[in-house]
Amino acid sequence: MLTSDCLGINEEGHLTIGGVDTLYLAEKYGTPLYVMSEDKIREIAKSYLGSIKKNYNGNGVPIYASKAFCCKEICRIIDSEGLDMDSVSAGEIYTAIKAGVDPKKLHFHGNNKTYGELEYAIENGVGDIIADNFEDIIRVNEIGEKLSKVVDITLRIKPGIDVHTHEFIRTGQIDSKFGFALENGEAEKAAQMASQLKNINLNGVHCHIGSQIFDAEPFVFASEVMLGFIKLIKDKFGIEIKNLNLGGGFGIKYLESDPFLKYEVYMESVSKAIHNKCAEYGLNIPKIFIEPGRSVIGEAGITLYTVGNVKEIENVRNYISVDGGMGDNPRYALYQAEYTCVIANRMNDKADYKATIAGKYCESGDLIQENVSIVKPEAGEILAVLSTGAYNYSMASNYNRNVRPACVMIKEGQDRLIIRRETFEDLIKNDI
Ligand SMILES: *Cc1c(COP(=O)(O)O)cnc(C)c1O
């Protein structure tokens, strides 16, 4: 039932994370509470770096997609492991810079970066801008000219790959708001435009084919399509693209039954494909970038809640209500994301009670999971949701004027607060 090896069950039958009793954490910090294992985050960061070293002569960098969980301490940890970082707003750039990250290590994404955001990014010297559309190219060149800078850009390409994952998180195909399509010549036009503008250096090409992907195959296919495009740019415009960014989307375990993707295997297959294609096309081996978000952080986190009540509606269903919900984890409400739910203080009891886990927010759709098998809890017991490290805190809101939870980091068996719980004062700080 556990989804990560940073989780365990102690002698008292309590769920542990990073070796620390979750009951102790719930008591000390209150609930709802996000808890993360720093050891796990560092282990995964190292495995990404290691796989590039081993399979690609170290000629590349993993880029952490910070939208998965962006706060100062996470930025510091990722930075200290030597990963670059993706930002998708000026706010994420600001957070990384405030955490001490060298702006050169930031890569700025987004399908509708505002002029102000582009200016902010370029003024602060971010590493490169991933151009998503023609306006991006024109604006970056204009801002570059104004600031007397030549700005590195990477073109975001839709390689037209249909990855079987949830419709809402599928982005590689032509019907997507992200990037330039290959099929209709848009991507080629973008490359031509970028190659002609003086304050732009066309440095890379990028694709991101989806999320929660478990096979290396779609990535192998994507790398081949992208090298075809690199060859086309070389043939037509005489520019040899140096950077190949294959995006993120590596799957994680939300349920124990989910498969396990070995990142080393991924890099091995992709590296082989790139070397073969480069030989075939007469291209230099590009520097490789990958952009894991969810997989760096997702399995390293859990959320602890206190059960408030259990409502048994005969012949309908049982509801277990907890003291959080869509305000700290909107992913079930958004796209029926799957999660494992457990009663943290009775991990060895039989999980044979069928129930729906509901939040405290005023929406019928405020559910964390439907029809799970769980230990039947009493009010006051601690319910844990596993693998909530990614896209939970970063998607949290103050709906119903609930405060956002605190986040605690566990390192070598020691707990420390990395984000404090919001206060009522925080809730009204912008109210006039
Ligand atoms: C969201 C996103 C990622 C990260 O995706 P994960 O599924 O979290 O690994 C990487 N690159 C881009 C461009 C993204 O939009």
| Per-residue pLDDT reduced to its tens digit, 119-130 | 999 999 999 999
- Bridge partners of 303? 34, 385
pLDDT tens-place string over residues 52-94: 999 999 999 999 999 999 999 999 999 999 999 999 999 999 9
Residue nearest to atom 7 of ligand 1 (CA): 249
> pLDDT at residue 410 above 50?
yes
Query: Residue 167: its pLDDT value, please?
Result: 43
- What residues line ligand 1, using a CB cutoff of 6 Å? 65, 67-68, 86, 109, 208, 211, 247-250, 291-295
Phi, psi of 404 (to 5 degrees): -75, 145
Q: Which of the listed residues 86, 128, 245 should we mutate to test ligand 1's pocket, taking the one with most ligand atoms within 8 A of CB?
A: 86
Instruction: Exactly one of 70, 341, 362, 407 is catalytic; name it.
Output: 362
More confident residue, 12 or 173: 12
User: For residue 326, what are its two tokens?
Assistant: 């869509």
Nearest to 324 by CA among 301, 305, 343, 349: 305
Secondary structure (DSSP) of 394-417? GG---GGGPPPPEEEEEETTEEEE
Pocket test for ligand 1, best of 48, 63, 67, 266 (most atoms within 8 A of CB): 67
250 CA → ligand 1 middle, Å: 9
In a 3-state reduction of DSSP, which class is residue 128? strand
| Residues 187, 178: Cα–Cα separation, whole Å | 12
Distances (CA, A) of 426 to 35, 370, 402, 410, 420: 21, 32, 11, 26, 11
Q: Which atom of ligand 1 is nearest to the CA of 250?
A: 9
> Mean pLDDT across the chain, nearest whole number?
95
Q: Give the mutation target among 154, 177, 206, 208 for probing the ligand 1 site: most ligand atoms within 8 A of CB.
A: 208
Distance CA 102, CA 121 (A): 12
Mean pLDDT over 410-419 rounds to 98
> 2-54: per-residue pLDDT in tens?
999 999 999 999 999 999 999 999 999 999 999 999 999 999 999 999 999 99
Distance CA 230, CA 162 (A): 21
Residue type, 275: H
414: exposed, middle or buried (C-beta count within 10 Å: 0-12, 13-18, 19+)?
exposed
362 is catalytic: yes
CA distance 357 to 336: 13
With a cut of 70, say whether residue 322 has pLDDT above it.
Answer: yes
Angle at the Cα of 391 from the Cα atoms of 61 and 226, rounded to 5 degrees? 40
Which ligand 1 atom sits nearest the alpha carbon of residue 391? 8
Q: Can you give the pTM of this predicted structure?
A: 0.96
> Residue 391, by phi and psi: left (phi above 0), alpha (psi -120 to 50) or beta?
left
